[in-house]
């Protein structure tokens, strides 16, 4: 990133909080000693909008947010890796099978993706395939049986939790050249995913040509291992927005939010050229500064409508940005005297009124909006 | 242009910029102050616009996203409902626990009512913990964790895992032209083996595109402040570019503006055309020209590199002509079937017209020269008129041409006289080369030569076709081709008068005029002809039609057409079927062909009035070709060419050599592009190599290696000239060399020389012996022979990476440390290549050194390339280890190779486990 040419400057948000909304700590709980790497609300099924899951160590826990800052533990799962006990989950997401049964899908250092049927409190499937640790799993919002996983083995894989098949592998000649750290489904374009990783690039993939394969996966009755998994070797777009590890990216409509380790989230627009796939330009639109956020594996999260994003930093503070205004405005900066440990991931509830943060020291913090204008509870949907 | 209150970041930014440039401007000139302020206000304007546009886009995106998320919300609600309809909600434990928790929370302690569940698992749900903020004691422990059964991890060797090693492997493929560090295995010392100072020069230039915003500022600033050096300078300062860059940009901008206004109404529909259809064949063939190796017949040849000089053979194959197809309609769209009913019977096809001409020629005596000239023109004129499809028009044409017959006569003689001086100029081959496109002229010469031959022997339609073919290739538009038609027709006249040599010169002169052409004046004969045709055009009003038709032909179709004319002659059936299949029908091709003639005539007619106008265009096109090509060369050439500088390297590592002979160095062969028999200035001659089949020169070239005529000797002794010259026989060159393949069931080639197969083509055919790798009797690895062979039998090829001497010196530094060398000098000492079998090679690289070897190595020229063959020095029994003398240069030989009298031979490579492992990998 050399000189930014005139007329292409991004709009940079100011760090003065607009005080549109204020948050207060309403709960704090210590889950264990091991760091918590992910926390995520269930956006798949409106019954469970107040249910969230966390992962840390070899444990997956399902909680519920109740009124008055109360958090209820609903379920807890422990990877029974007796011999080595080395499982350390890095990521978790919600999915569901075709019947609508809620699934918790988690993955971690072993590279095995655990699909837990939360409706029956049992393991449903285990996806073995990744050659190294799984860094992120995301669910396709339009077809919540599809999950995509990003792994240290440089590949991104698309799975069907309903039938348990690995549908596609996004890797190869045009793939990532180092660990893939984050991946996300396009909210409306079902064919599109964006992935980013340690090779400093963000790659946008299209599975349009492979869609028959995806369709086939829903009706697969044979052994999952016999499914003809296909390779997607070439992304439709490669963006070099950052000059360091890119550890989180999310679609914002047709734009992409991504962050590296240089204290900011960047919003940019991929502009592909029709004639030459793979090439294109990046138009950096906005930047959302996040001070003290210069370590990798810090992920941000958005509320259901993508109005706001919350991101923690190295020092335990949370920045809540209004995403879709120009120039971007900081809704609030959340800090607490006892919150000192790096926040690996945050989760915003459906309407953004509750923010959860999970920290390196194994604590979960719950922040609730105190402004009168917004609904104070997330339990009513 | 005062900016309104802009958002803080952008305001502060432009403000700071302003300060900086203001300060500078103050030093230079007081006048520039206002210019700077103008620029600054423009800048601010740009920044503001950017903010506004971002805002707009964000708003658009938000609207889009809002509908998306509301749809998603709907989906999530549907899921809830479908679940309720679908199944008993008590099955969903998550839901149940959720309800419990809510229950516990709302009415504390009342939740135990449904503790009556059956399983013990259900027991735990009552104790769902509620933490912090309630009076219930924290119950994290009471939620019993559910165990996830263990799953076997994939064993690491079944998956592809990212390793640094893997990445390095892929990058390692190309060794040349990259900064590289070798790690010596033993002492951990890093050696930099490329000179950084040289390769850093290659750094990409900074891209200097002008952005839209900069264009805008340039335009507006100059509009407001006027065009002056001060403005340009301050603009340049503001963009941190050079002043002349800005100036040039401004000029191109104003030009663009003008053209865009002009073309706005014209081009609106044309612009929608697919851009790739606009590419002409020339550009499309670029990769073929630049990346295809004509010697190895592969793309992206590693041996000879990209961007090889294009060598055009002096002898061109005649255009394809199948007489049996000539008079049959090729299909429903054939011009024959379509145009017959409405056609004047005499001129139904160009071929027929030509044949008619030719048949006329021999019959007419020398006195009839002029009439035949006229007749030659007449069919052309009719052809032109035909698309107008009015018989009356064509009859008018006929009349006109008849009447203008008398006009033509003197003018044509004038043209011959005019051409005769050009003959003197063109006397030598070198004279032609003065023209900008030497190659073009030379090709014309060769074509004309051939033509002469054909006309002399037999006057059929092939003759004119071949000329048209040859010329059509040169032309970059159909106009020129017509020019050639004219010239060829005139040439016909000449050749019929038995002055063949003169006719060649004429053709040269005319081709020069019409095609590459620095000459302003048109041959008068053409001019008159052309004005005549202009009249027809006006008559039939067909010229506009022709233009319209011409528009529907895209650039690449035109070039395909030209290629077609080159290949098939003026046979629209074949062109349409083979090259423009699905694009154009035969009729369309035919019409284009004839209209091309007419359009040329029309344009040339104009050119008769304003001379040079039309021809400058042709000339421009001709140059264009050359220029474009050179650009490609520039761009590509940088990438792949093996770089070798003649810098002397102080250190010479030890290398294997073939022999002690220093007087007979092998020279690297590069094909020459001579179009005539090679003289003193031929690059091959200067380089000391023979001309090979890849050269452009004709087969009669004195410098050519003629191959052998051996039959019975099977090219196995020094009696065979190929063998004696350390070359393999080449069936393309040698007369009797052939090898049968298979068991004969597929049909063998006609066997010349009584079943005596050539035995001197083994490298070319890769007929090596089976070599086994094993632990050497001496030390380390060794190469062993599987089957016994007789003396002088070819065993195999010593292969490896082909590297330059300079690179070899760098690598040699490392190899010497490991006391192993796989370097093999290939060419002459000042020359080009060294074989390095360290990383890549075949099993023969493991053959050890011996002062008393049983094999010998020989560099052999195989199809223009030097290759190393290993041959048996004596009879070798199966299972014997192979040795050959590495022939190190005496002063550089390693210790173990220096004393032949020592006990046995030592290893070519000492047994370093690490080094060996690497070698095998």
Mean pLDDT to the nearest integer, A201-215:
92
Mean pLDDT to the nearest integer, B326-346:
57
Nearest Cβ partner for A72 among B83, B101, B216: B101
Q: Report the pLDDT value the prediction gives residue B658, as an integer from 0 to 100.
A: 53
Q: Report the pLDDT value the prediction gives residue A182, as an integer from 0 to 100.
A: 95
How far is A344 from chain B, CA to nearest CA, in Å?
A: 22
Nearest Cβ partner for A187 among B7, B49, B68: B68
**Most confident option among B261-265, B583-587, B912-916:** B583-587
Residue A250 has pLDDT above 90, yes or no: yes
Q: What is the pLDDT of residues B731-750, one digit of tens each?
A: 788 877 777 665 555 555 55
Residue B95 has pLDDT above 50, yes or no: yes
The answer to whether B46 contacts A6, with C-beta atoms less than 8 Å apart, is yes
Q: Average pLDDT over chain B, rounded to whole? A: 60
pLDDT range class, residue A146, cuts 50, 70, 90: very high
Q: What is the ipTM of this complex?
A: 0.86
Contact A260, A311 (CB under 8 A): no
What tokens appear for B49 in the block?
């616009």
Q: Residue B519 and residue B441: Cα distance in Å, rounded?
A: 14
Residue with more model confidence, A118 or B640: A118
Residues of A in contact with B217 (CB under 8 A): 6
Mean pLDDT to the nearest integer, B400-415:
41
Q: Report the pLDDT value the prediction gives residue B144, as an integer from 0 to 100.
A: 73
Q: Residue B678 and residue B230: Cα distance in Å, rounded?
A: 59
Residue A65 has pLDDT above 50, yes or no: yes
Residue B827 has pLDDT above 50, yes or no: yes
Look up the pTM and report it. Answer: 0.51
Residues of B in contact with A110 (CB under 8 A): 153
Mean pLDDT to the nearest integer, B563-573:
77
Residues of A in contact with B71 (CB under 8 A): 188
* Beta-carbon contacts below 8 Å between A and B: 256
Nearest Cβ partner for A178 among B9, B138, B162: B162
Lowest mean pLDDT among B44-58, B95-109, B574-588, B838-852: B95-109
pLDDT range class, residue A89, cuts 50, 70, 90: very high
Q: Which residue of B has its CA nearest to A106?
A: B148
The three-state DSSP-derived secondary structure of A224-243 is HHHCCCEEECCCCEEECCCC
**Most confident option among A243-257, B431-445, B708-722:** A243-257
Nearest Cβ partner for B145 among A8, A76, A187: A76
How far is A239 from chain B, CA to nearest CA, in Å?
A: 18
Q: Which residue of A has its CA nearest to B155?
A: A131
Lowest mean pLDDT among A9-13, A47-51, B179-183: B179-183
Q: Report the pLDDT value the prediction gives residue B252, as an integer from 0 to 100.
A: 81
Residue A309 has pLDDT above 90, yes or no: yes
Lowest mean pLDDT among A349-363, B107-121, B719-733: B107-121
Lowest mean pLDDT among A312-321, B270-279, B530-539: B530-539
Q: How far is CA A23 from the centre of its chain?
A: 22
Q: Does B797 touch chain A (CB under 8 A)?
A: no
Residues of B in contact with A151 (CB under 8 A): none
Residue B131 has pLDDT above 90, yes or no: no
Residue B913 has pLDDT above 50, yes or no: no
Residues 6+ apart with CB under 8 A from B536: B381, B384, B385, B393, B396, B397, B400, B598
pLDDT range class, residue B318, cuts 50, 70, 90: low
The answer to whether A99 contacts B275, with C-beta atoms less than 8 Å apart, is no
Residue with more model confidence, A232 or B640: A232
User: Which of B49, B76, B117 to probe by mutation at the A interface, max A CB count within 10 Å?
Assistant: B76
The answer to whether B72 contacts A326, with C-beta atoms less than 8 Å apart, is no
User: Which of A2, A27, A64 to probe by mutation at the B interface, max B CB count within 10 Å?
Assistant: A64
E strand residue ranges, B371-481: none
> Over the range B613-630, which residues count as b (16 or more CB within 10 Å of their CB) and which as e?
ebbeebbeebeeeeeeee
pLDDT range class, residue A136, cuts 50, 70, 90: very high
The answer to whether B145 contacts A59, with C-beta atoms less than 8 Å apart, is yes
Nearest Cβ partner for A188 among B68, B128, B167: B68
The answer to whether B275 contacts A275, with C-beta atoms less than 8 Å apart, is yes
Q: Residue B110 and residue B120: Cα distance in Å, rounded?
A: 20
The answer to whether A73 contacts B128, with C-beta atoms less than 8 Å apart, is yes
Q: What is the CA radius of gyration of chain A?
A: 20
pLDDT range class, residue A184, cuts 50, 70, 90: very high
Q: What is the CA radius of gyration of chain B?
A: 40
Residue with more model confidence, B872 or B272: B872
The answer to whether A304 contacts B75, with C-beta atoms less than 8 Å apart, is no
Q: Residue A109 and residue A297: Cα distance in Å, rounded?
A: 14
pLDDT range class, residue B691, cuts 50, 70, 90: confident
Mean pLDDT to the nearest integer, A63-82:
84
Lowest mean pLDDT among B628-632, B812-816, B822-826: B628-632
Residue with more model confidence, A202 or B202: A202
Nearest Cβ partner for A126 among B50, B101, B151: B151
Q: Report the pLDDT value the prediction gives residue A17, as an integer from 0 to 100.
A: 85
Q: How far is CA B769 from the centre of its chain?
A: 37
Nearest Cβ partner for A78 among B9, B145, B162: B145
% of chain A surpassing 70 pLDDT: 92
Q: Which residue of B has its CA nearest to A66?
A: B102
Neighbours of B551 (CB within 10 A): 9
Residue listed under structure tokens 């590592």: B653
Residue A11 has pLDDT above 70, yes or no: yes
Q: Report the pLDDT value the prediction gives residue B30, as an integer from 0 to 100.
A: 56
Q: Does B273 touch chain A (CB under 8 A)?
A: no
The answer to whether A77 contacts B104, with C-beta atoms less than 8 Å apart, is no
Q: Report the pLDDT value the prediction gives residue B743, as an integer from 0 to 100.
A: 55
The answer to whether B93 contacts A178, with C-beta atoms less than 8 Å apart, is no
Q: Does B5 touch chain A (CB under 8 A)?
A: no
The answer to whether A8 contacts B73, with C-beta atoms less than 8 Å apart, is no
What tokens appear for B640 in the block?
């792949």
Residue with more model confidence, B236 or B55: B55
Residues 352-411 of B with CB under 8 A from A: none
Spatial CA neighbour of B313 closest among B629, B634, B691: B691
Residue with more model confidence, B853 or B153: B853
Q: Report the pLDDT value the prediction gives residue B245, as an integer from 0 to 100.
A: 77
Cross-sheet strand order for the sheet of A318-322? A14-17, A329-334, A318-322, A308-312, A301-302
Mean pLDDT to the nearest integer, A339-343:
91
Q: Does B171 touch chain A (CB under 8 A)?
A: no
Q: Report the pLDDT value the prediction gives residue B262, as an integer from 0 to 100.
A: 59
What tokens appear for B556 in the block?
């690449």
Residue A38 has pLDDT above 90, yes or no: yes
% of chain B surpassing 70 pLDDT: 40
Q: Which letter does DSSP use for residue B513 in this model?
A: I
Residues of B in contact with A15 (CB under 8 A): none
The answer to whether A7 contacts B47, with C-beta atoms less than 8 Å apart, is yes
Q: Does B42 touch chain A (CB under 8 A)?
A: no
Q: Report the pLDDT value the prediction gives residue B767, as an integer from 0 to 100.
A: 82
Residue with more model confidence, A32 or A266: A266
Q: How far is CA B220 from the centre of its chain?
A: 42
What tokens appear for B186 in the block?
């033993």
Q: What is the pLDDT of residues B243-287, one digit of tens each?
A: 777 778 788 888 877 776 655 554 444 444 444 455 566 666 776
How far is A237 from chain B, CA to nearest CA, in Å?
A: 20
Residue listed under structure tokens 């850093």: B200
Residues of B in contact with A252 (CB under 8 A): 61, 65
Residue A210 has pLDDT above 80, yes or no: yes
% of chain B surpassing 90 pLDDT: 1
Residues of A in contact with B80 (CB under 8 A): 45-47, 100
Please give the helix or strand (H or E) that residue A128 lies within, else none: none
Q: Report the pLDDT value the prediction gives residue B555, as an integer from 0 to 100.
A: 72
Q: Report the pLDDT value the prediction gives residue A41, as an integer from 0 to 100.
A: 93
pLDDT range class, residue A319, cuts 50, 70, 90: very high
The interaxial angle of helices B542-552 and B586-609, nearest 10 deg, is 120
The answer to whether B8 contacts A14, with C-beta atoms less than 8 Å apart, is yes
The answer to whether B65 contacts A29, with C-beta atoms less than 8 Å apart, is no
The answer to whether A327 contacts B150, with C-beta atoms less than 8 Å apart, is no
The answer to whether B156 contacts A131, with C-beta atoms less than 8 Å apart, is yes
Strands A71-79 and B146-148, bridge-based pairing:
parallel
**Most confident option among A363-377, B195-209, B736-750, B883-897:** A363-377
Residue A377 has pLDDT above 70, yes or no: no
**Most confident option among A202-216, B342-356, B772-786:** A202-216
Q: Report the pLDDT value the prediction gives residue A110, as an integer from 0 to 100.
A: 86
The answer to whether B159 contacts A141, with C-beta atoms less than 8 Å apart, is no
Residues 284-343 of B with CB under 8 A from A: none
pLDDT range class, residue B294, cuts 50, 70, 90: confident
pLDDT range class, residue B83, cuts 50, 70, 90: low
How far is A46 from chain B, CA to nearest CA, in Å?
A: 5
Residues 233-252 of B with CB under 8 A from A: 239-240
Residue with more model confidence, B192 or B832: B832
Residue A26 has pLDDT above 50, yes or no: yes
Residue with more model confidence, A270 or B914: A270
Q: Report the pLDDT value the prediction gives residue B113, as an integer from 0 to 100.
A: 37
The answer to whether A74 contacts B167, with C-beta atoms less than 8 Å apart, is no
For A166, half-sphere exposure in the C-beta direction (CA atoms, 13 angstrom radius) is 20
pLDDT range class, residue A203, cuts 50, 70, 90: very high
Nearest Cβ partner for A121 among B55, B138, B146: B146
Q: What is the pLDDT of residues B30-42, one digit of tens each?
A: 566 778 888 888 8
């Amino acid at each position: 990133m050399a000189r930014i040419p005139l007329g292409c400057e991004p709009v940079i948000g100011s760090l003065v909080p607009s005080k549109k909304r204020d948050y207060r700590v309403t709960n704090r709980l210590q889950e264990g000693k091991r760091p918590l790497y992910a926390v995520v609300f269930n956006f798949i099924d409106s019954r469970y909008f107040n249910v969230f899951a966390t992962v840390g160590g070899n444990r997956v826990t399902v909680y519920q947010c109740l009124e008055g800052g109360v958090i209820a533990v609903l379920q807890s799962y422990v990877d029974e890796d007796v011999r080595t006990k080395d499982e350390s989950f890095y990521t978790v997401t919600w999915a569901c099978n075709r019947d609508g049964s809620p699934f918790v899908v988690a993955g971690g250092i072993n590279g095995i993706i655990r699909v837990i049927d939360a409706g029956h409190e049992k393991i449903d499937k285990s996806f073995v395939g990744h050659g190294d640790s799984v860094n992120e799993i995301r669910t396709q919002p339009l077809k919540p049986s599809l999950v995509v996983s990003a792994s240290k083995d440089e590949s991104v894989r698309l799975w069907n939790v309903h039938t348990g098949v690995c549908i596609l592998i996004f890797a190869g000649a045009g793939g990532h050249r180092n660990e893939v750290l984050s991946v996300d489904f396009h909210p409306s374009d079902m064919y599109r995913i964006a992935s980013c990783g340690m090779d400093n690039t963000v790659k946008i993939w299209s599975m349009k040509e492979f869609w028959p394969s995806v369709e086939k996966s829903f009706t697969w009755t044979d052994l999952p291992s016999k499914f003809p998994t296909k390779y997607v070797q070439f992304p439709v777009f490669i963006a070099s927005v950052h000059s360091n590890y890119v550890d989180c990216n999310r679609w914002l409509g047709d734009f992409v939010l991504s962050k590296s380790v240089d204290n900011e989230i960047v919003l940019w627009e991929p502009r592909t050229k029709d004639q030459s796939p793979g090439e294109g330009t990046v138009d950096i639109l906005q930047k959302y500064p996040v001070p003290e956020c210069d370590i990798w594996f810090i992920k941000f999260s958005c509320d259901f409508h993508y109005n706001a994003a919350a991101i923690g930093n190295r020092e335990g503070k949370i920045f809540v940005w209004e995403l879709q205004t120009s120039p971007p405005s900081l809704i609030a900066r959340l800090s607490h005297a006892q919150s000192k440990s790096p926040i690996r991931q945050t989760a915003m509830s459906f309407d953004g009124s509750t923010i959860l943060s999970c920290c390196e020291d194994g604590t979960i913090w719950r922040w609730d909006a105190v402004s009168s204008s917004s609904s104070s509870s997330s339990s009513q949907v | 242009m005062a900016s309104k209150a802009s958002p803080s970041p952008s305001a502060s930014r432009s403000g700071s910029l302003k300060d900086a440039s203001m300060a500078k401007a103050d030093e230079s000139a007081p006048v520039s102050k206002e210019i700077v302020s103008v620029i600054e206000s423009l800048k601010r304007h740009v920044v503001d616009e950017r903010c506004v546009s971002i805002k707009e886009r964000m708003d658009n995106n938000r609207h889009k996203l809002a509908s998306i998320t509301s749809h998603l919300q709907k989906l999530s609600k549907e899921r809830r409902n479908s679940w309720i309809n679908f199944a008993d909600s008590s099955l969903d434990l998550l839901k149940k626990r959720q309800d419990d928790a809510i229950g516990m929370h709302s009415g504390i302690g009342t939740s135990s009512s449904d503790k009556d569940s059956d399983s013990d698992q259900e027991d735990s749900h009552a104790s769902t913990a509620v933490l912090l903020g309630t009076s219930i004691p924290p119950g994290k422990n009471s939620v019993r964790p559910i165990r996830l059964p263990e799953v076997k991890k994939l064993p690491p060797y079944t998956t592809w895992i990212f390793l640094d090693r893997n990445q390095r492997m892929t990058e390692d493929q190309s060794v040349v032209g990259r900064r590289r560090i070798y790690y010596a295995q033993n002492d951990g010392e890093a050696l930099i083996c490329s000179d950084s100072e040289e390769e850093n020069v290659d750094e990409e230039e900074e891209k200097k595109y002008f952005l839209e915003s900069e264009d805008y500022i340039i335009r507006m600033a100059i509009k407001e402040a006027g065009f002056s050096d001060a403005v340009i300078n301050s603009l340049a300062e503001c963009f941190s570019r050079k002043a002349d860059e800005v100036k040039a940009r401004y000029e191109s901008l104003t030009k663009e503006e003008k053209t865009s206004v002009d073309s706005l109404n014209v081009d609106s529909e044309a612009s929608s055309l697919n851009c790739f259809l606009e590419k002409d064949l020339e550009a499309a063939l670029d990769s073929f020209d630049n990346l295809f190796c004509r010697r190895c017949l592969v793309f992206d040849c590693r041996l000879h590199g990209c961007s090889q000089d294009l060598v055009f053979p002096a002898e061109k194959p005649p255009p394809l002509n199948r007489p049996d197809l000539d008079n049959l309609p090729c299909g429903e769209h054939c011009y024959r079937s379509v145009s017959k009913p409405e056609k004047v019977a005499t001129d139904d096809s160009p071929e027929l017209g030509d044949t008619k001409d030719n048949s006329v020629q021999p019959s007419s005596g020398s006195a009839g020269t002029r009439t035949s000239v006229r007749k030659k023109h007449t069919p052309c004129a009719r052809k032109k008129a035909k698309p107008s499809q009015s018989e009356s028009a064509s009859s008018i044409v006929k009349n006109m041409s008849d009447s203008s017959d008398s006009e033509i006569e003197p003018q044509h003689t004038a043209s011959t006289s005019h051409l005769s001086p050009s003959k003197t100029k063109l006397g030598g081959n070198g004279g032609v080369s003065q023209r900008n496109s030497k190659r073009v002229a030379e090709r014309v010469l060769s074509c004309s030569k051939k033509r002469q031959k054909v006309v002399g022997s037999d006057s059929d339609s092939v003759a004119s076709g071949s000329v048209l073919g040859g010329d059509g290739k040169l032309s970059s538009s159909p106009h020129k081709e017509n020019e050639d038609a004219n010239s060829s027709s005139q040439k016909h006249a000449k050749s019929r008068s038995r002055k063949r040599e003169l006719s060649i010169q004429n053709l040269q002169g005319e081709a020069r005029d019409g095609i590459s052409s620095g000459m302003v004046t048109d041959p008068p004969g053409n001019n008159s002809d052309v004005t005549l045709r202009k009249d027809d055009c006006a008559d039939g009003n067909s010229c506009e039609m022709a233009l319209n038709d011409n528009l529907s032909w895209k650039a690449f179709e035109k070039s395909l057409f030209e290629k077609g004319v080159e290949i098939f002659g003026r046979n629209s059936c074949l062109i349409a079927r083979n090259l423009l299949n699905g694009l154009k029908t035969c009729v369309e091709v035919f019409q284009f062909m004839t209209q091309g003639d007419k359009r040329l005539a029309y344009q040339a007619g104009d050119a008769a009035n304003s001379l040079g106008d039309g021809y400058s265009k042709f000339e421009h096109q001709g140059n264009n070709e050359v220029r474009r090509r050179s650009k490609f060369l520039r761009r590509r050439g940088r990438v792949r060419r093996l770089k070798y500088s003649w810098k002397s390297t102080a250190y010479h590592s030890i290398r294997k050599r073939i022999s002690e002979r220093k007087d007979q160095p092998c020279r690297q062969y590069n094909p020459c592009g001579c179009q005539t028999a090679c003289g003193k200035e031929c690059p091959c001659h200067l380089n000391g190599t023979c001309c090979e089949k890849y050269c452009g020169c004709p087969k009669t070239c004195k410098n050519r290696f003629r191959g052998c005529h051996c039959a019975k000797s099977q090219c196995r002794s020094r009696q065979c000239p190929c063998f004696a010259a350390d070359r393999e026989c080449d069936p393309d060159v040698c007369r009797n060399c052939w090898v049968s393949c298979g068991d004969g069931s597929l049909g063998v080639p006609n066997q010349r020389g009584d079943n005596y197969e050539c035995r001197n083509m083994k490298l070319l055919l890769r007929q090596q012996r089976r070599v086994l790798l094993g632990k050497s009797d001496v030390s380390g690895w060794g190469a062993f022979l599987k089957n016994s062979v007789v003396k002088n039998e070819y065993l195999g090829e010593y292969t490896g990476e082909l590297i330059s001497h300079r690179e070899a010196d760098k690598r040699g530094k490392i190899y010497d440390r490991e006391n192993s060398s796989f370097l093999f000098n290939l060419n002459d000492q000042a020359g080009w290549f060294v074989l390095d079998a360290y990383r890549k090679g075949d099993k023969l690289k493991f053959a050890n050194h011996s002062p008393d070897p049983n094999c010998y190595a020989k560099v052999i020229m195989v199809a223009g390339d030097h290759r190393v063959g290993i041959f048996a020095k004596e009879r070798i029994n199966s299972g014997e280890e192979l040795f050959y003398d590495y022939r190190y240069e005496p002063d550089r030989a390693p210790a173990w190779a220096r004393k032949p009298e020592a006990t046995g031979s030592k290893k070519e490579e000492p047994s370093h486990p690490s080094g060996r492992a690497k070698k095998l990998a």
